[in-house]
Chains A and B, each alone.
Chain A
Amino acid sequence: MRIIAQGYPAWAFTGGVAYDAALPAVLLLHGAAMDHSAWQWQSRYLAHHGYAVIAPDLPRHGRSPGTVRTSVEALADWAADLLAALGRERAFVAGHSLGSLVALELAMRHPGRVTSLVLAGTSVPMPVGDAFLAAAKDDSPAAHAMQSTWGHARLSQLAASAVPGASLLNASLRLVERAAPGVQHAGLAACNAYAPDPARFESLTTPVTVIAGRYDQMTPPRAGEALAKRIPGARFVLVHAGHSMLSEAPGEVLAAMKTAFAGAPTGA
């Protein structure tokens, strides 16, 4: 689906069915240097179970052209405009990694827009190591390998894949390799720089679910749990996965999302 957000085209996956404006909306935000397909499984399931799925490629990612945004705040405003362009007052919002920060900021900057918030593979702050940032700045293949390797449970290739026949690590590597020059660094730098005033968490009135991967090497579960403790009423869910929990444990993540969305008022 093509949408004009902030005056520029954006592309969003709708889960394999036509977008239905009459259904409650779910906005799914991907992480740095990824695209909508990070949410492949959750998108398709939700789209076939009563939700209007909007899984955009962030600006300059995947099929969305435009200029890469360099801050979480700018991406949150873009996401708000995307929802507005679709005539959506409210939506269920889930974000992964960089997308989780965007989702969190969206809920804090535009509190009326988010019905229920799911933050997967998250931490605030979300520091990124200097070596990783430097490699990404040079668009080095090493940065691609760092993201895909650390983005999964340690030695994930030595275990059975949640998706029969797929190498989740190599598929993720290929996706990162496709990112336009500068995109990976912009996303990682945005994560690294994001430093909201923790007092703002207190103002969140939206139900929040934090999903952490037990084997996450990038946003360790204790960081996700710490964030959940700082958000009033937040639910914390631990899944058997690394940072790429959307594909490493698609069923567990989906179950947590279904619970989160079922307990909230309609997002349409």
Chain B
Amino acid sequence: MTHSPPKPPHPDTLAVHAGQSPDPATGARAVPIYQSASFVLPDTDTAAALFDMEIPGHVYSRLSNPTVAVFEERMAALEGGAAALATASGQAALVLAVLTLMGKGGHVVASASLYGGSHNLLAYTLPRLGIETTFVPARDLDAWREAIRPETRLLFGETVGNPSVDVLDVPAVAALAGEHGIALLVDATVTTPYLGRALDMGAHLVMHSATKFLSGHGTVIGGVLVDGGRFDWDASGKYPTLTEPYEGFHGMVFTEESPVNAFALRARREGLRDLGACLSPMNAFQILQGLETLPLRMPRHVATTRAVAAFLAKHPAALRVHHPDLPTHPDHELAQRLYPAGASAILSFEIAGGREAGRKFIESLSLFSHLANIGDAKSLVIHPATTTHFRMDERALAKAGIGPGTVRLSIGLEHPDDLLEDLSRALRASQK
């Protein structure tokens, strides 16, 4: 028998409204910027209860803030998660996730196709704390499986890798994670909840650099970590930080307090409290301004990206073009299945003439801005081997699908014809 569930609000509606009521103090319809470090405690009993998590509420903006909470709740709604935590950056979201789940001796299995900053953290910084990472080719499920050790506590990958634009088979890696009782964290910065919801595909945790498409205008640094609420930490038996008494909070056992929100509780009560990488209310407001138009912007980003990819695919100076919407891309079918509305506004290509041609190309562009970011309203370009991924050696670069002539484009909201003209002119210049 078919049963019809109630219809939830559409993503377009959630993007504009979720998590916000008109301000109870003033009636303000826009999200007020509560630029306040602290909040008045009405009496000592209430103060004690707030500090001890006996009643919910705002105490200090490192832990929670009304403006930031709107962003968190909006992201939880858009991703279909049980809770979300805003962070100072996407990097902070990744650190928060890792340190909430493990300590010294912990192990991560990560896709080799990662943002350079994430690679730095996992390859160089976390080992100093006794947390090791094994990097595996994103597409090689056997490699994921073989890399899992008894001390593995997290599988991690990007929905669409940056800059190689390979697509993570989230359902397959999630199934592997489930077999081993390990959580899967997915960085969905490039796809956003508009193009695909990783939690619905089986991921347990989702993170974003909100600096990118969520805010969408290159004005703000921020991140967010969403707890899907489906992972059974108790059944796994691998996560004492969530299932055993925590002396740092009066012996709280987070899975007892809330089986479905245990991760988010600990991440807030320990991670935001002690690591301190919180999002500022002003930044939350700016991200929210962008988020309201995410469902309008993403189709335009994607449509123009497809036009650019098609253009480059026919251009003799572009030796190989990497975008999953192209039938030649090895992940094309997977991308069609997971991201039917488009698999991002990022693409990369190998320019004929290698590094020198790449230099000429970048320096000949007029509309594309040469900078280290993606997901802006403005189109962007960068040469990963010498910038975002410069700390990676040749082997790691190759593993991540980055060659000396790889150029990454982030397609913005300009008119497609203007972008194609700019690219055409610069490609011509690069070959002289």
Contact = CB atoms under 8 A, between A and B. Distances in A.
Interface string A129-140: 001001100101
A102 B387 CA distance: 65
A71 interface: no
A48 B56 contact: no
Nearest to A161: B73
Which residue, of A13, A44, A165, A167, has the highest number of chain B Cβ atoms within 10 A? A165
B421 interface: no
A80 to B, nearest CB: 25
Contacts of A8: none
A163 interface: yes
A171 B56 contact: no
B199 to A, nearest CB: 9
Interface in A47-96: 48-49, 62-63
B178 to A, nearest CB: 14
A37 B3 CA distance: 28
Interface stretch (A115-123, A152-160, A225-233, A259-267): A152-160
B69 A160 contact: yes
Contacts of B72: 164-165
A101 interface: no
Contact of B55 (A45, A62, A159): A45
Contacts of B58: 164
Contact of A177 (B8, B53, B54, B230): B230
A251 interface: yes
B49 A174 contact: no
A161 B264 CA distance: 15
Interface stretch (B74-82, B292-300, B308-316, B412-420): B74-82
A192 interface: no
Contacts of A175: 259-260
Contacts of B86: 165
B360 interface: no
Interface in B208-229: 228-229
B70 A41 contact: no
A174 B260 contact: yes
B230 A164 contact: no
A165 B259 contact: no
A16 B250 contact: yes
Contacts of B66: 160, 164
Q: Which bracket fits the contact residues of B? A: 35 or more
B150 interface: no
A162 interface: yes
A44 B84 contact: no
A167 B257 contact: no
Which residue, of A49, A150, A171, A250, has the highest number of chain B Cβ atoms within 10 A? A171
A256 interface: no
B52 interface: yes
A20 to B, nearest CB: 15
B19 interface: yes
A130 B104 CA distance: 53
Interface stretch (B10-18, B337-345, B367-375, B398-406): B10-18
Interface string A19-34: 0000000000000000
A162 B56 CA distance: 7
Nearest to B16: A158
Contacts of B56: 41, 162-164, 250
A118 B21 CA distance: 29
B257 A170 contact: no
A4 interface: no
A213 B116 CA distance: 50
B20 interface: yes
Interface of A is mostly: helix
Nearest to A251: B55
Contacts of A167: 73, 76-77, 81-84
A149 interface: yes
B5 A141 contact: yes
B85 interface: yes
Contact of A143 (B3, B70, B80): B3
Given A134-B3, A164-B56, A157 B9 contact: yes
A195 interface: no
Contact of B9 (A40, A155, A171, A251): A155
A163 B264 CA distance: 12
A223 B396 CA distance: 66
Contact of B260 (A146, A165, A171): A171
Nearest to A62: B259
A163 B63 CA distance: 12
Given A145-B6, A165-B64, A160 B73 contact: yes
Contacts of B83: 165-167, 171
A234 interface: no
B76 A170 contact: yes
Contacts of A159: 19-21
A45 B3 contact: no
A160 B8 CA distance: 16
B21 A160 contact: yes
B193 to A, nearest CB: 13
A239 B93 CA distance: 36
A13 B252 CA distance: 12
Contacts of B264: 165-166
A63 B255 CA distance: 11
A254 interface: yes
Contact of A138 (B1, B17, B80, B252): B1
B8 A149 contact: yes
Contact of B54 (A45, A150, A163): A45
Which residue, of A63, A138, A167, has the highest number of chain B Cβ atoms within 10 A? A167
A164 B69 contact: yes
A140 B259 contact: no
Contacts of A135: 3, 5
Contacts of B230: 174, 177
A40 B17 CA distance: 27
B356 interface: no
Given A37-B260, A164-B64, A178-B259, 18 more contacts: A16-B252, A35-B259, A41-B56, A48-B54, A131-B4, A134-B1, A138-B3, A142-B5, A149-B8, A161-B19, A164-B57, A165-B86, A170-B77, A171-B83, A171-B261, A174-B229, A177-B230, A250-B56
6 contacts: A135-B5, A158-B18, A161-B69, A167-B76, A170-B81, A178-B259
